[in-house]
Amino acid sequence: MKPEYKIALFTFLFIALLFPQKSNAALFVEMEVGSSGDSVVELQQYLALDPSIYPEGLVTGYFGSLTRSAVMRFQARYEISQVGRVGPITLAVLNELMIGGGTGGSDDEYAPIISDVKVTNTGSMALVSWKTSEAATTKVYYTPRYPLTYETSLVLNPPIDYIGNHSILIPNLENRTYFYIVESEDIAGNVSVTTPKVLR
């Protein structure tokens, strides 16, 4: 190899080590203690970027107790149930952050992921609850008319700060069928809306 090529190669490798690029790999499998392979490597590499989440920073390809603890810290930060395994919700949040770099800050271009939407009916009231992958606002549109539109819907938008666990109590419902959607907007202005569903 010519000397100038060796210098160019050395310079490239030095820059690559000095300025590592953000991971854009996607995770496709759920993981838990005992899992191993490339997906675990990708997970560990990503978690190790934040010492407050994965202070040990070990990239072994094996999902052990240290990785489980790191996953639980990650779940706590994004207000996901701290089960210590990478299930569907955690997987979706990880992929959003790893591929898109969404963090909820001013550079965030990705809408929050809405999950675990539930309705609890009690008499003339209904409690709607859901989770988001990042801190976001809380809003519900509901109406007895179908198709549901913003113009024909009632809206509940309580003055709640940006949060990850949402719930709204809808009062004074008549004994008839209602339809609803939930909406959450992150601090960067990215909005997620669910498809219309039956409230009761």
pLDDT digits (tens, 9 = 90+) for 19-49: 334 444 567 788 999 999 888 988 998 898 8
User: What does the pLDDT look like over 95-138, one tens digit per residue?
Assistant: 778 765 544 445 667 788 899 999 999 989 999 999 988 888 99
pLDDT bin (cut points 50, 70, 90) of residue 153 is very high
Q: Which amino acid is at 80?
A: I
Answer whether residue 13 shows pLDDT above 50. Answer: no
Statement: the pTM of the whole predicted model exceeds 0.95: no
Identify the structural domains of the chain with CATH numbers, from first to last. Answer: 3-100 (1.10.101.10), 114-198 (2.60.40.10)
Contact (CB, 8 A) for 104 and 134: yes
Q: What is the pLDDT of residue 107?
A: 62
Q: Is 184 helix (H, G, I), strand (E, B) or coil?
A: strand
Cα–Cα distance, 43 to 72 (Å, whole number): 13
Q: What is the pLDDT of residue 99?
A: 67
Which residues, 6+ apart, have CB-to-CB distance to 186 below 8 Å? 104, 108, 111, 112, 132, 134, 135, 136, 137, 162
Q: Which two tokens stand for residue 172?
A: 């004074």
Higher-pLDDT residue of 92 and 63 is 63
Contact (CB, 8 A) for 59 and 41: yes
Q: What is the 3-state secondary structure (H, E, C) of 117-176?
A: EEEEEECCEEEEEEEEEEEECCEEEEECCCCCCCCCCEEECCCCCCEEEEEEEECCCCCC
Q: What is the pLDDT of residue 149?
A: 83
Q: Which two tokens stand for residue 193?
A: 């809306």
Q: What is the pLDDT of residue 8?
A: 44
